[in-house]
Amino acid sequence: MEFFKHTLPNGIRCIYKRTKSPVTYCSLTINAGSRDEKNKEFGIAHFTEHAIFKGTKNRKAYHINSRLEKLGGELNAFTTKEETVVHATSLKSDFSKAAELIADICFNSVFPEKEIEKEREVVIDEINSYKDSPPDRIYDEFEDLLFSGSELGHNILGTKSTVSRFSGDTVKCFTRRCYNTDNMVFAVSGNLPEKNFRMYAERYFADKEKSTRVFSRQTPEPIEPFRKIVDRHTHQAHCIIGARAYGHNHPKRVALSLLTNMLGGPAANSMLNVLLREKNALTYGIDASYTPYSDTGVAAIYFGTDKDKIERCLPMIETLLKRLKTTLLSSRQLAVAKKQLIGQLSISMESNEGYMLSAAKSYLVYDDVDSPSEIYRKILEVTPSDIMETANEVFSDMSYLIYN
């Protein structure tokens, strides 16, 4: 069995993968992100991720930050539209310290106002920094437009206006509503006996008060495709072409992952890189991405180019997408694409930390973790017709956002 699974009485689900590494990775994945914010608290999920490091009933901020670092390990966190993840890296001998520290900051944080005031300035600085990065900013603005009027239609960082109003009480209110034990997964990868993993999971997490999710996420209403040009006074033009896509449970999710990898994955031989960069020297970087959410998703193509070349790039991309929608891939083309994706996934799984974080999210979403062989089987089952149908379903009625 690849993963040992254990559920605590309060509903926290725990998974463990044993490895031969002297390094242990652990995380608490919480089903709470910017999608769960109310109108006047945009940015609170991300701000809470910062605030939990600022003091607990047992530690001050300095002691939190130095607990693992003094031992050569590290503690970190990140926020997405649907999750907050706190994760730690330590030597095997220090795993209990890492697990206890994660439990302490996620359940015992006190959010002192003095620290909240300081962190508010840090997050506002992060917002300013992000505004100086057009490739990052355009993705967020595109999703804001694509999901306009819905819970997904706002930036993870929030705005200076919303962040400036946050207090310790605001953060406490968010954690009470969204940090529910029935929506958490504690995941570990390391060289420990299973009984030790279970012992530490129970020691540090089983006594936390049980809480159950009492709200649900609303599926975004349909929108009309848009084409928007924004003057950002950037040196290059930046462009995103995309549309809503499949959610986590859609049967064609694997086909879309394969399709976007063929189109603009990390490899230099991706269709878009060959077409725009290698053959026509129109862009330094172009990629395609697919981001699934619980009930919807985003498929997008991004590129940056000189402003006078953007009208050459767009027709080339549209022609390529039209070909995928009207012409079946050959068996050889699809076999090569499958082999490439399986190879990329196999190599990525060599990162114990990355695999642990991916498994935690899978267990949170599906209550299960597919083995590598099961993942590969699903990829190998994709047919040329699946690719064509997916291209027609996703890459029709495209929307455009251009920074000019």
Dig out the tokens for 84 from the structure: 């907050």
Residue whose tokens read 């991309």: 317
| Length of the chain in terms of residues written | 404
Query: What pLDDT does residue 233 have?
Result: 86
Question: pLDDT tens digits, residue range 206-263?
Answer: 999 999 999 999 999 999 999 999 999 888 999 999 999 999 999 999 999 999 999 9
Residue 40 — pLDDT band, cuts 50, 70, 90?
A: confident
**In 3D, which of 91, 15, 73, 21 has the Cα closest to residue 350?**
21
Bridge partners (DSSP) listed for residue 305: 237
Query: What pLDDT does residue 146 have?
Result: 97
CA distance 302 to 52: 34
Residue 130 — pLDDT band, cuts 50, 70, 90?
A: confident
Predicted model pTM = 0.94
Whether pLDDT at 1 is above 80: no
CB distance 56 to 64 below 8 Å:
yes
pLDDT over 70 for what percent of the chain?
A: 100
CB distance 286 to 276 below 8 Å:
yes
Q: Note the maximum CA span of the chain.
A: 63
Domains in the chain, start-ordered, CATH in brackets? 4-205 (3.30.830.10), 227-403 (3.30.830.10)
